[in-house]
Amino acid sequence: MHYLWAFVVGGTLCVAGQLLIDLTNLTPARVLVLYVTSGVALSAIGLYGPLVELAGAGATVPLTGFGHLLAQGVKRAVDEQGLLGALTGGGAACAAGVAASLITGVIASLLTKSRDQN
Amino acid sequence: MEFSKEQYARLLKQACPRSPLLRDCLWAFFVGGGICLLGEGIRTAWLAAGHTLSDAGTLTSATLIVISGVLTGLGWYQKLAAKAGAGTLVPITGFANAVVSPAIEFRCEGLVTGVGARMFSIAGPVLVYGLLASAVWGVIWWLIRPWLL
């Protein structure tokens, strides 16, 4: 059942992004920025947490889940450190994903050659 | 030749090929859903390996990022993205693709100003506004917390 929800919720979030691209001419970078900030907002008002419980990776894998991760990290850090947590929480929460992306990027650039996009 | 904004918008609309909305959405749904399904499988495997819920989530993201990086290096991710659109953009694999792809493309401009700088062309804005939004939420939470606890 978890797998079905992961598929449906993840797919629906992607369709929403596709509609934004097709109907509003938003560039991919803007869509991603919109998704991350929406994820932070939805998590802050308490809507994203239940969605993660329902759909698991269907909610955490789309970039809104990245925003949810940031918001959760900040909340936890503020609980522990006070106002300083507003600065430290987000970075700490997304550290693994960012580091993994950057390191993969550097290694890939060293191992592969640029090719035509088609 | 000079155009008004409206004229330009009309010309742009004529020149752009209309992408079939339903087909785009079906591709986005099945590929995006499929990537999340793969993520759920990976998450289940990390949980079964004895990791906590939050560690398993982090490991799942890292695993998908590495898979996406390899597929981007092979040139396969871009081929899928041409069909799947937002289905490959919105998942974390799309974020990884947006980092790895320019890193490979601009390798010829050097490791620092090429690879190091261009990696952030899409990931940069995502991090800037993601961290900004989270810091704003942190301040709000700090302010409302005393009333809620």
Distance from CA of B5 to the nearest CA of A (A): 16
> Phi and psi at residue B91, in whole multiples of 5°?
-65, 160
Domain extent at residue A85: 2-111
Q: Which residues of B fall within a CB distance of 8 Å from A61?
A: 35-36, 39, 60-61, 64, 91-93
Q: How far apart are CA B102 and CA A108, in angstroms?
A: 10
Instruction: Establish if A71 belongs to a structural domain.
Output: yes
pLDDT tens readout for residues A19-33: 999 898 888 899 999
> Phi and psi at residue A113, in whole multiples of 5°?
-105, 150
Single-letter residue type at A78: V
Q: How far apart are CA A96 and CA B61, in angstroms?
A: 8
Distance from CA of B2 to the nearest CA of A (A): 23
Instruction: Establish if A60 belongs to a structural domain.
Output: yes
Nearest 10 degrees: Cα torsion A24, A28, A31, A36: 180
Instruction: Establish if A118 belongs to a structural domain.
Output: no
Look at chain A and report how many structural domains it folds into: 1
pLDDT tens readout for residues B9-38: 777 777 766 668 888 999 999 999 999 999
B4 touches chain A (CB under 8 A): no
Paired strand residues for B91? A62
**pLDDT exceeding 90 applies to what percent of chain A?**
83
| Alpha helix stretches (DSSP H) within chain B | 5-15, 21-48, 53-74, 76-84, 86-89, 92-105, 117-118, 120-148
A96 and A60 in contact (C-beta within 8 Å)?
Answer: no
CB contact under 8 A, A62 and B134: no
Distance from CA of B29 to the nearest CA of A (A): 4
The C-alpha angle B129, B107, B60, rounded to 5 degrees, equals 50
CB contact under 8 A, A100 and B95: no
Assembly ipTM: 0.91
pTM: predicted TM-score of the whole model, two decimal places: 0.88
Distance of CA B104 to the CA centre of its chain: 17
Whole-Å CA distances, B104 to A77, A115, B72: 36, 9, 9
CB contact under 8 A, A29 and B130: no
Instruction: Establish if A116 belongs to a structural domain.
Output: no
pLDDT tens readout for residues B81-138: 988 989 999 999 999 999 999 999 998 888 899 899 999 999 999 999 999 999 999 9
Sign of torsion, CA A42 A44 A45 A51? positive
CB contact under 8 A, B87 and A22: no
Q: Give which of B18, B30, B70, B90 to mutate to test A binding, by max A Cβ within 10 Å.
A: B90
Distance from CA of B22 to the nearest CA of A (A): 10
Nearest 10 degrees: Cα torsion A66, A97, A26, A118: -140
CB contact under 8 A, A60 and B74: no
B67 touches chain A (CB under 8 A): no
